[in-house]
């Protein structure tokens, strides 16, 4: 009978890097891990094992089961994907919302959700359109070739989240600079300290001068929760930090990677150009195909019996967003990028109580961004071969392009 080290050596390693030839979709090897069944064991960089869940039904079951499944990253077998994740957890970034269970999570989520309802988000349409148009004006003024990431994909989400939170965009270097360093292992602690200190100063300024300057979610939390002793100052700082980073980084990467996917398939770009009514479906297909967050990490706190295996208490779980999005049972011909595909929400915003609170806002931003981009720059094309574009090829963190030079 083989020893545990032999068994470990037989397990597939995870995460699996994307190919530089196609940075906007998960690696074929990752997607194919689901061929053998809806659940499989994988080996992580630190030698630990975790269950990789690729079946849609099993993924929904795990992500909905907040009684037997924990999101807290301090459990011993919580499946950290690399050293970067360890540093981010140690920095305290995950101490709110994304890293807490009910009832703490329930309380925090109830504080922020009024700002992200469908009705509240719809009121932002004109503001988002204005931000997108201004960024496209800047892109055009810069002249071709221009970097779509720094001229468009980064500033649009940053300005939108500044508006929603009540963070002055003129301070953008004070929060964008540490946000960029947050996922660099040796800089994570420094980045969290810098961003936390900036937000603490901003909160104090808002307290001294209520109603002065831009107001948003942070102002609401100060009045309705901080001053009512329903939350601590540290908690407010960390919630603001989490919302600011998550609300900008993810949307930036979907815009840049989604644009590259469209430009790499001229027929798809031409279809969108000919019929802007395809934009909502295109957004859903981009979210599915890009699968920006390749897996959602959890740990079982009780045994969970699923169709595919039994996850024992204490075992780590990775719900493969990419695996589910590319499962033939979830989408017909999943390997094909097709913006004419009937819109069907993907797992890209997660599922259950930890579903992304800003999914309505993200969809609004993406729809306006792609519609405006194709209308303003119908002849847009990449100025650099895809394989030469600098990206992180997914090391377990968010997939990202560092630049995307384009011409028109």
Asked whether residue 406 is assigned to any structural domain, the reply reads: no
Asked whether residue 404 is assigned to any structural domain, the reply reads: no
In sequence order, the β-bridge partners of residue 404 are: none
User: Which residue in this structure is represented by tokens 């989490």?
Assistant: 242
Asked whether residue 174 is assigned to any structural domain, the reply reads: yes
Range of the domain at 206: 4-16+25-395
Residue 128 pLDDT: 98
Could you tell me if 130 and 140 are in contact, meaning their C-beta atoms sit under 8 angstroms apart?
no
Structural domain total, the chain: 1
In sequence order, the β-bridge partners of residue 382 are: 406
Residue 408 pLDDT: 97
Give this prediction's pTM: 0.93
Residue 185 pLDDT: 65
- Token pair, residue 157, equals 């989400």
CATH number of the domain at 117, please.
1.10.630.10
Asked whether residue 402 is assigned to any structural domain, the reply reads: no
Asked whether residue 232 is assigned to any structural domain, the reply reads: yes
Q: How far apart are CA 317 and CA 311, in angstroms?
A: 8
Q: Please state the φ and ψ torsions of residue 241, each to the nearest 5 degrees.
A: -65, -50
Element (DSSP H or E) covering residue 311: strand 309-311
Could you tell me if 311 and 41 are in contact, meaning their C-beta atoms sit under 8 angstroms apart?
no
Q: How far apart are CA 236 and CA 239, in angstroms?
A: 5
Asked whether residue 136 is assigned to any structural domain, the reply reads: yes
Taking CA atoms, 165 is separated from 168, 214, 278, in Å, by: 9, 9, 30
Taking CA atoms, 281 is separated from 41, 75, 288, 341, 344, in Å, by: 34, 39, 11, 7, 8
Residue 90 pLDDT: 67
Dihedral angle over CA of 180, 184, 189, 192, nearest 10: 20
Residue 81 pLDDT: 84
Mention every residue, 6+ apart, whose C-beta is less than 8 A from residue 210: 219, 222, 223
Element (DSSP H or E) covering residue 90: helix 83-91
Mean pLDDT by 10 residues, the chain (408 residues): 50 90 91 90 93 94 96 89 72 80 95 93 96 97 96 95 93 84 74 91 94 89 96 94 90 97 97 95 96 92 93 96 88 93 84 93 97 97 95 75 96
Asked whether residue 400 is assigned to any structural domain, the reply reads: no
Residue 80 pLDDT: 86
Q: Please state the φ and ψ torsions of residue 235, each to the nearest 5 degrees.
A: -65, -40
Asked whether residue 408 is assigned to any structural domain, the reply reads: no
Mention every residue, 6+ apart, whose C-beta is less than 8 A from residue 295: 14, 15, 52, 81, 318, 319, 320, 321, 322
Q: How far apart are CA 162 and CA 202, in angstroms?
A: 12
Q: Say whether 348 sits in a helix, a strand or coil.
A: coil
Residue 387 pLDDT: 93
Could you tell me if 75 and 86 are in contact, meaning their C-beta atoms sit under 8 angstroms apart?
no
């Amino acid at each position: 009978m083989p020893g545990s080290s032999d068994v470990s050596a037989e397990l597939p390693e995870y995460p699996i890097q994307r190919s530089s030839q196609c940075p906007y979709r998960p690696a074929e090897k990752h997607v194919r891990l689901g061929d053998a069944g809806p659940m499989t064991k994988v080996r992580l960089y630190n030698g630990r094992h975790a269950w990789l869940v690729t079946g849609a039904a099993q993924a929904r079951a795990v992500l909905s089961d907040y009684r037997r499944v924990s999101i807290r990253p301090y459990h011993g077998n919580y499946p950290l994907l690399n050293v970067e994740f360890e540093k981010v957890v140690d920095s305290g970034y995950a101490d709110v919302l994304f890293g807490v269970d009910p009832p703490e999570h329930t309380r925090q989520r109830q504080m922020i959700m009024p700002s992200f309802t469908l009705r509240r988000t719809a009121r932002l349409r004109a503001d988002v359109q204005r931000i997108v148009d201004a960024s496209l004006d800047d892109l055009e003024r810069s002249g071709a070739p221009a970097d779509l990431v720094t001229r468009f994909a980064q500033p649009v989400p940053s300005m939108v989240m500044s508006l929603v939170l009540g963070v002055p965009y003129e301070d953008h270097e004070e929060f964008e600079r540490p946000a960029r360093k947050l996922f660099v292992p040796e800089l994570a602690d420094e980045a969290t300290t810098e961003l936390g200190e900036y937000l603490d100063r901003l909160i104090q300024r808002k307290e001294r001068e209520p109603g002065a300057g831009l107001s948003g979610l942070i102002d609401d939390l100060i009045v309705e929760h901080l001053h009512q002793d329903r939350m601590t100052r540290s908690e407010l700082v960390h919630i603001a930090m989490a919302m600011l980073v998550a609300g900008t980084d993810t949307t930036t990467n979907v815009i840049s990677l989604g644009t590259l996917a469209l430009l790499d398939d001229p027929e798809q770009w031409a279809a969108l150009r000919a019929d802007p009514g395809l934009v909502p479906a295109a957004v859903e297909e981009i979210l599915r195909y890009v699968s920006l967050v390749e897996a959602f990490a959890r740990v079982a706190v009780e045994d969970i019996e699923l169709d595919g295996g039994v996850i024992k208490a204490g075992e780590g779980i990775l719900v493969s967003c990419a695996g589910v999005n590319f499962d033939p049972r979830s989408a017909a011909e999943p390997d094909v990028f097709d913006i004419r595909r009937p819109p069907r929400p993907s797992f890209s915003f997660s599922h259950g109580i930890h579903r992304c609170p800003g999914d309505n806002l993200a969809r609004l931003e993406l729809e306006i961004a792609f519609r405006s981009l194709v209308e303003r720059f119908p002849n847009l094309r990449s100025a650099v071969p895809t394989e030469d574009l600098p990206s992180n090829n997914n090391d377990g963190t968010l997939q990202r392009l560092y630049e995307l030079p384009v011409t028109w």
